[in-house]
Amino acid sequence: MTGSIDLLLKRLLGEEKFLLTTHRTPDPDGLGAELGLLHFLKSKGKDALIMNSEPVPVKMRFLDPENQASDMKSLKDRAIIDGRLIVCVDNSDLKRIDDLQAYVREDQSNLVIIDHHDGMHADNQVMFAFPTTGSSCEIVYELMTLGGVEPTEPVARSLYAGIVSDTGNFKYKKTNSRTHEIAAHLMRFGINPAEVAERLFENSPLARLLLKKKLYAGMVIEQGRLAYFKIRKSDVIELGLSLDDLDGVVNELIESDDIQAGILFTEREAQQTKVSVRSRGSISMLASVVKYGGGGHKNACGATIPMDLETAIADFIPEALRCLDSV
């Protein structure tokens, strides 16, 4: 079952106080959807705020010029959270909202999830899932349109950035004519697409190039069809980077025609390895990450494995190859 924008609109307008959140390490789609939804709810006279588990990465701060996205790490008075409907966008895995999980009632009556990842079941009460939509920002745009609210220029920019980023510059499979219509409409609010692309993708520090040098030096290709690389936390920190600076690197692995799937293993803690998986076309890698409690899309998914880096790699690679065999 696919989520319904009508029912989502009804569900939201029936409440007064909101807390908007997304997954940890917020990305442009999660942040854009939050900012769009915040603008929408405030336009409807609602009391709404954004509260993420982590601060907005420096690179994405241009999307939130008024610093409307606050985070649990710098929150002083937690009483502000009480009595609000928690709306989680771009994420249906509650583990990924960290401390905020504690505020979700056991019966989830104070929770709404708005997401576009694969494999979720919409009930249009708690879970509003739109798995055929390329980005959460498109869902929020449709909601705003149905509710009769126009974006401001910064809101249009953040929605546009989320769409560009989550559709892989309009090239991933969920991109359709509606995606382009929405992007075209958002551009009329004064967005400069070249500038957005440059800020999102091209203003990376030299250290990121050095990090990539390290990644590629250790790249492994299995059976001529699966490529992977790994990075240790200390390597990232030594270069003065954060784990967010690795965003998008894994996509490069499947740029080669012969490589069907690419994986980045990131050591987050001594016994915690993040695995990010990308695949081409009809190849779904979801089964490989679901085993570890992960999720995502068929062509872009991930999980956090409670093992050290090398053990996680040894454990995961056979799972990934099994996925490729089943195609």
Binding site residues, Mn ion, CB under 5 A: 29, 90, 136, 166
Instruction: Tell me how far, at minimum, the Cβ of 164 lies from Mn ion, in Å.
Output: 12
Partner residues linked to 303 by β-bridges: 275
Least Å distance, CB 308 to Mn ion, is: 29
Q: Which is nearer to Mn ion, 23 or 84 (CB)?
A: 23
Q: Which is nearer to Mn ion, 11 or 174 (CB)?
A: 174
Nearest distance in Å: CB 159, Mn ion: 12
Q: Report the C-alpha dihedral over residues 251, 256, 260, 262, rounded to 10 degrees.
A: -30
Cα–Cα distance between 184 and 106 in angstroms, integer? 42
**E strands of the chain, at which residues?**
17-21, 47-52, 69-71, 85-89, 111-115, 127-129, 220-222, 226-231, 261-269, 272-279, 295-296, 300-305
What 3 state SS string does 204-220 have? CCHHHHHHHHHHHHCCE
Between 118 and 166, CB nearer to Mn ion: 166
Closest approach of Cβ 181 to Mn ion, in Å? 19
Name which of 131 and 207 has its Cβ closer to Mn ion. Answer: 131
Give the other-Cβ count within 10 Å of 189's Cβ: 16
Helix, coil or strand: residue 57: coil
Residue 116 or residue 230: which is nearer to Mn ion going by CB? 116
- Distance separating alpha carbons of residues 282 and 280, to the nearest angstrom: 6
Q: Are strands 111-115 and 127-129 parallel, antiparallel or unpaired?
A: parallel
Q: Tell the smallest beta-carbon distance from residue 29 to Mn ion (Å).
A: 4
303 touches 285 (CB < 8 A): no
Give me the least distance between CB of 97 and Mn ion, in Å please.
15
What type of residue is 107? D
Of residues 11 and 23, the one with the C-beta less far from Mn ion:
23
**CB 324 within 8 Å of CB 286:** no
Shortest reach from residue 133's CB to Mn ion, in Å = 9
Nearer residue to Mn ion within complex by CB, 90 or 247 = 90
